[in-house]
Amino acid sequence: MIMMSMISKNILAAAVVVIILVIGGAYYLTQQPSKPTSTVTPTLTPTIPPTTTPTQTVTPTVAETSTTTTAQTASPTATPTATITDEDLIRELVNGYYDTFNRHLAADNAAFFTDDGIKLINHGKDATYKGREKITQQLTDGIKSWPDMVIENVKIAKLEINADKAIVQCKYLFNTKIGKWSTNMTENMELVKIGSTWKIAKVDVIY
């Protein structure tokens, strides 16, 4: 009994101590100053809008289309048209005149004369032929007599042009084996220009 009483007293004393500790602890806690609760404000990082780079529309460079070919081909150098002078025309007339004589084309030879052209032999002392018909006949008769006659080594010794008139002097060798005749001759021509064509108005065959 005595032991039981002592245990009860010890338990009671322990309980009192626990109660005192609990109360003391509660009191202590109530007397402590309350610490303000710091509210943590989150730092707001300003949202920086992304720098917008303006979109540049790049138009591809298109090679200019040339009206000519890309590789320009050099145009061939145009040959300038030669201006035919009166002297050129007269020289052509002289060449044609003696060419038709040598080919014995009497009518073609007379065509170089004007309609009323005149042909003199030794200033008219030996013969005079007027008009294309007479001139044609004179050459035709000569061809019959000397079918091998020919004029060679023709040279223009004089050529003078005055507006629509011209004077030409030719020297050449007349030759025919059948007629057994070879001689140097001079032929003086008086030309006129009709339109754009030169014609023989008069010739004087001298030998």
For residue 205 the two structure tokens come to: 């065959």
- What distance separates the 2 farthest-apart alpha carbons in the chain? 210
CA dist., res. 177 & res. 74, Å (int):
60
CA dist., res. 119 & res. 122, Å (int):
10
CA dist., res. 198 & res. 4, Å (int):
179
Quick check: 139 and 109 in contact, CB under 8 A? Answer: yes
Q: Which residue has the higher pLDDT, 116 or 3?
A: 116
CA dist., res. 147 & res. 21, Å (int):
176
Domains of the chain, residue spans? 86-206
One-letter identity of residue 150: V
Q: What are phi and psi of 55, to 5 degrees?
A: -75, 120
Mean pLDDT, rounded, for 145-158: 98
The strand pair at 165-176 and 181-194 is best described as: antiparallel
* Per-residue DSSP letter, 169: E
Choice among 10-24, 35-49, 132-146, 157-171 with the minimum mean pLDDT: 35-49
Q: Which residue has the higher pLDDT, 117 or 25?
A: 117
Domain 86-206 has CATH 3.40.50.1240: no
Confidence of residue 142 (pLDDT cuts 50, 70, 90): very high
First to last CA, the chain: 203
The strand pair at 150-162 and 197-206 is best described as: unpaired
Length of the chain: 207
* pLDDT value of residue 22: 55
For 40-92, write each residue's pLDDT tens digit.
444 444 444 445 444 454 444 444 444 444 444 545 566 666 799 999 999 99
CA dist., res. 156 & res. 80, Å (int):
28
CA dist., res. 136 & res. 109, Å (int):
7
Quick check: 155 and 166 in contact, CB under 8 A? Answer: no
